[in-house]
């Protein structure tokens, strides 16, 4: 007797969405803002309609194109010497990106190195590094940066070095705490039993496990560094004029604000706010995603 076999339809799973969109709480808009600013900074030479350092007194204080008296030739208006504000904002993004990323790299490298040495070696090495860190943290960061900038003089390279020297302590303190926990783990003790030297353990076993914390701290520190650079430029001890920088634009426009030339301060201030806020939101999201304890919440 023949038996009929009923075939059931096989459920074909729907194609999985891109992993990028599955990231819970991913700050899409802040990331897009940072990417746009980075794109403008890299290609400012091609995108800027005018030379940011060349102006004409005949076209000074022209308002943005949408305001009465404005012109489509100068979409965001001109400043007190007739320089195109849009072009200066584009080149200012390059200055902020270069100084911010380079200073974070300097501070992160120095702070991570000292944090690993302090946490793993312990003893007098830990005491010396941590007392130096405590002394550094006791100094007001902005005031200390102004003092150093006034001594060495204004330039982009000097500002990068100064900001790196001011903010390395944040990394040293956080990384040391991570290392104190890591060096009690089994894989480190097994490496000691296997005869690995302290330097090999720090390089091959400790450093890869603190990189996540260093990256998260770098994204959070980027906004702090950019604000400090803008403050130094605003006070005249940062990026030297006539090079375009957002802090310099704020300084040049502070007098114009009192007589109605609002775009000279509002536009660079808005750029600083968007960049810093976006970096902070991205850093906060990375902190949650890279921390196993917070990821379970």
Q: What is the mean pLDDT of each run of 10 residues along the chain (297 residues)?
A: 46 45 72 92 90 84 84 86 90 91 93 91 88 88 87 86 91 90 84 83 86 87 90 86 86 72 88 92 82 53
Which among 161, 169, 129 is positioned nearest to 145, based on CA atoms?
161
Supply 70's token pair.
């404005």
* Residue 83 near residue 104, CB atoms below 8 Å: no
Nearest-angstrom CA–CA distance, 23 and 66: 39
* Residue 183 near residue 105, CB atoms below 8 Å: no
Tell me, yes or no, whether 199 lies in a domain. yes
Tell me, yes or no, whether 21 lies in a domain. no
CA 168 vs. chain centroid, Å, equals 14
CB atoms within 10 A of CB 155: 14
Tell me, yes or no, whether 216 lies in a domain. yes
Supply 264's token pair.
């000279």
Burial of 125 (0-12, 13-18, 19+ CB in 10 A): middle
* Residue 137 near residue 165, CB atoms below 8 Å: no
* Residue 244 near residue 258, CB atoms below 8 Å: no
Tell me, yes or no, whether 208 lies in a domain. yes
- Predicted model pTM: 0.83
**Which residue(s) pair with 78 in the sheet?**
84
| Predicted pLDDT at 251 | 85
| Predicted pLDDT at 38 | 92
Which among 96, 175, 165 is positioned nearest to 137, based on CA atoms?
165
Domain range for 153 is: 96-295
CATH code: domain of residue 267: 1.10.3720.10
Q: For residue range 109-118, list pLDDT tens digits in order.
A: 999 999 999 9
Q: For residue range 169-203, list pLDDT tens digits in order.
A: 989 999 998 898 888 888 888 888 888 888 888 88
Tell me, yes or no, whether 22 lies in a domain. no
* Residue 182 near residue 189, CB atoms below 8 Å: no
| Predicted pLDDT at 239 | 85
Tell me, yes or no, whether 46 lies in a domain. no
| Predicted pLDDT at 111 | 92
Nearest-angstrom CA–CA distance, 225 and 275: 11
Sign of CA dihedral 217, 223, 227, 229: positive
Please state the domain count of the chain.
1
Q: Is 247 helix (H, G, I), strand (E, B) or coil?
A: helix
| Predicted pLDDT at 106 | 94
Tell me, yes or no, whether 197 lies in a domain. yes
- Which residues have CB under 8 Å from 226's CB, separation 6+? 96, 99, 100, 272, 275, 276, 279
SS (H, E, C) 25-49: CCCHHHHHHHHHHHHHHHCHHHHCC
For residue 101, the number of C-alpha atoms closer than 13 Å in the C-beta half-sphere is 10
Nearest-angstrom CA–CA distance, 1 and 112: 78
* Residue 139 near residue 168, CB atoms below 8 Å: no
Tell me, yes or no, whether 4 lies in a domain. no
């Amino acid at each position: 007797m023949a038996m009929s076999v009923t075939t059931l339809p096989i459920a074909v799973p729907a194609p999985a969405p891109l992993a990028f969109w599955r990231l819970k709480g991913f700050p899409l808009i802040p990331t897009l803002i940072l990417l746009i600013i980075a794109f403008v900074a890299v290609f400012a030479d091609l995108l800027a309609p005018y030379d940011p350092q060349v102006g004409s007194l005949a076209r000074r204080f022209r308002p943005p194109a949408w305001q009465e008296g404005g012109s489509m030739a100068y979409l965001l208006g001109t400043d007190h010497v007739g320089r195109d504000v849009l072009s200066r904002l584009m080149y200012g993004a390059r200055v902020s990106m270069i100084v911010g990323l380079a200073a974070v790299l300097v501070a992160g490298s120095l702070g991570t190195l000292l944090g690993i040495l302090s946490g793993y070696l312990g003893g007098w090495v830990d005491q010396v590094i941590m007392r130096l860190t405590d002394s550094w943290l006791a100094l007001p960061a902005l005031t200390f940066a102004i003092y150093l900038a006034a001594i060495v003089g204004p330039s982009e390279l000097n500002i990068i070095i100064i900001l790196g020297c001011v903010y390395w302590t944040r990394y040293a303190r956080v990384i040391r705490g991570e290392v104190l926990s890591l060096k009690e783990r089994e894989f480190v003790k097994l490496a000691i039993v296997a005869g690995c030297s302290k330097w090999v353990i720090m390089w091959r076993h400790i450093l890869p496990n603190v990189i996540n914390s260093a990256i998260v701290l770098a994204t959070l520190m980027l906004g702090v560094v950019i604000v400090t650079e803008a403050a130094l430029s605003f006070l005249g001890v940062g990026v030297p004029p006539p090079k375009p920088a957002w802090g310099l634009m704020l300084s040049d426009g502070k007098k114009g604000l009192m007589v109605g030339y609002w775009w000279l301060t509002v536009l660079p201030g808005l750029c600083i706010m968007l960049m810093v806020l976006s970096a902070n939101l991205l850093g906060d999201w990375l902190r949650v995603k890279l921390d196993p304890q917070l990821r379970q919440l």
